[in-house]
Amino acid sequence: MPPVRTSIFELLKIGPGPSSSHTIGPMRAGYDFMDRIRELPDNIRLKGEDLEIRLFGSLSATGEGHGTPRAIMSGMIGFLPDSCQPDILSQFDDKDAPFELDIHGKVITYHPGDIIMDAVQHDYPHSNTMIFRYKAGDEILLERMYFSVGGGFLRWQGWEEPERGEPQFPYKSMAQLKDHLRANEMRLHELILANEMSMTGMTKDEIYTDLDHVIETMERAVELGIQTTGILPGPIGLQRKAPVMYERAKKEYFQGPGFLKAINAYALAASEENASGHCVVTAPTCGAAGVIPALLFMLKRHMGALQDEIREGLLAACAIGFLCKHNASISGAEVGCQGEVGVASAMAAAFMAYARGYRFQVTENAAEIAIEHHLGLTCDPVGGYVQIPCIERNAMGAVKAYNAYVIASTLDESYQKVDLDKVIQAMAQTGKDMSRNYKETSLAGLAVSVADC
């Protein structure tokens, strides 16, 4: 297995919710396929008459509730996740509305409702599979199979790792990462920064500028969420809770129980913004987009953390996310919600510890404790919407992250008997053993127990 080569800004992507694997990945697929049609020779491109788009696995099972057809349409129209308007998906709510797709010299009319929800159980390489076809009658002029593999990452049949520089400090595990830190007498954020620079060619200032944009987007999601009241989109009729929780915390001056209420409010706020299809940061996924922002907002607004401390904490959090993605998964369709909220909680615990000045061992311990107590967490969204149990689960993940930080920073480092590498291995195996019904398909658990809400 090659070393970790994931970029910071592949893990922390900006885009519309409610699900990175169901919106950000498919949006990029729609955009890419239209580009490929336009690259066809004139005699083939102008011959085409129609598009056929099929969704499989959890994209089929929960795609309507997760906004997948709307995301694909927005991508085909020409929008990309990191630059689109916050409410971009809402213009595609009407399944029968016609949209004109320009393929250079010809226009094809397509409707969101034309997208086909195909088999939930299939034999394709990844659960979240999409097949795009450009056709002239029954003749297929162009076909592309895409895989939305979690966290907004998009792959396709024949995909190869993009060419980029080699990491300056290659590692596959936390043990190897710590060996580098000791041998080079450096801190964790410095190593992640050095690797990002050597792989992408970005300068430190460029990386920090983009990190600041990520931080700003996280803060904006919380700010909007604690100010917005009403009912979330979809048939569930779920009431937004963040503003009420925030007002209760404020009345208690964010002290004692008010401190805990504030963490809950901030996590609910960003998660409710995600559920509304507004822009969030995949940290590491849209479904878990409320966890890290909750602690980030708490650190900046209530605990006086400096911008450099926030940046460095996020770099440490990325190290945890990289390892989880590399050695297990961050996709609910592959390993359940332990790979989404569980990983987000581990990243947030590491972020908290590192931003407060603790070194890598306390940081690792905090991450390990957080993910250990999410092992086996299923992904069973009611109605296929990222609302129940997802929104409150973000709040629980944020509180667990803070508590993991408290435990790790209070007790002696030597008390910790389980290391991060072992718990990631356990998460991967648990995901393999987990029934497909509990992996973002809405076929079991709360999805069927609370089907009438």
**Per-residue pLDDT tens over the stretch 295-341:** 999 999 999 999 999 999 999 999 999 999 999 999 998 999 999 99
The reply to whether 149 and 194 lie within a common domain is no
Predicted pLDDT at 150: 82
Burial class (CB in 10 A: 0-12, 13-18, 19+), 129: buried
Q: Which of 88, 123, 156 is the last residue of a domain?
A: 156
* Upper half-sphere CA count for residue 184 (Cβ side, 13 Å): 15
The reply to whether 78 and 117 lie within a common domain is yes
Predicted pLDDT at 269: 98
Tokens of 348: 């947030």
How many helices and strands in the chain, by DSSP H and E? 18, 9
Q: Count Cβ atoms below 10 Å from residue 48 Cβ, excluding itself.
A: 21
pTM, two decimal places: 0.89
Predicted pLDDT at 451: 59
CATH of the domain at 145: 3.30.1330.90
The reply to whether 212 and 244 lie within a common domain is yes
User: Before 16, cis peptide (omega within 30)?
Assistant: no
- Tell me whether residue 3 is in a domain: no
Binning the chain into helix, strand and coil, the percentages to the nearest 5 are 55, 10, 35
Tally of structural domains, the chain: 2
The reply to whether 128 and 96 lie within a common domain is yes
pLDDT tens-digit series, residues 77-92: 999 988 877 777 888 8
> CA–CA separation, 169 vs 158, rounded Å?
28
Predicted pLDDT at 164: 84
Predicted pLDDT at 314: 98
- DSSP one-letter code for 239: B
SS3 label, residue 231? strand
- Tell me whether residue 110 is in a domain: yes
> CA–CA separation, 266 vs 187, rounded Å?
29
Predicted pLDDT at 254: 96
For residue 27, give the nearest of 103, 81, 94 by alpha carbon.
Answer: 81
For residue 65, give the nearest of 381, 297, 310 by alpha carbon.
Answer: 381
- Domain residues for the domain of 92 are 16-156
Q: Which of 156, 187, 218 is the last residue of a domain?
A: 156
* Residue where the block lists tokens 């297929």: 140
> CA–CA separation, 448 vs 28, rounded Å?
31
Q: Which of 130, 156, 182 is the last residue of a domain?
A: 156
Cα of 138 vs its chain's centroid, Å: 37
User: Before 389, cis peptide (omega within 30)?
Assistant: yes
The reply to whether 184 and 44 lie within a common domain is no
Residues of the chain with pLDDT under 70: 451-453
Tokens of 340: 């989404």
Predicted pLDDT at 84: 76
* Upper half-sphere CA count for residue 18 (Cβ side, 13 Å): 27
Taking each helix axis from N to C end, the angle separating 242-251 and 204-227, rounded to the nearest 10 degrees, works out to: 90
The torsion region of residue 383 among left (phi > 0), alpha (psi -120 to 50) and beta comes to: left
- Evaluated on CA atoms 299, 427, 194, 203, the torsion sign reads negative
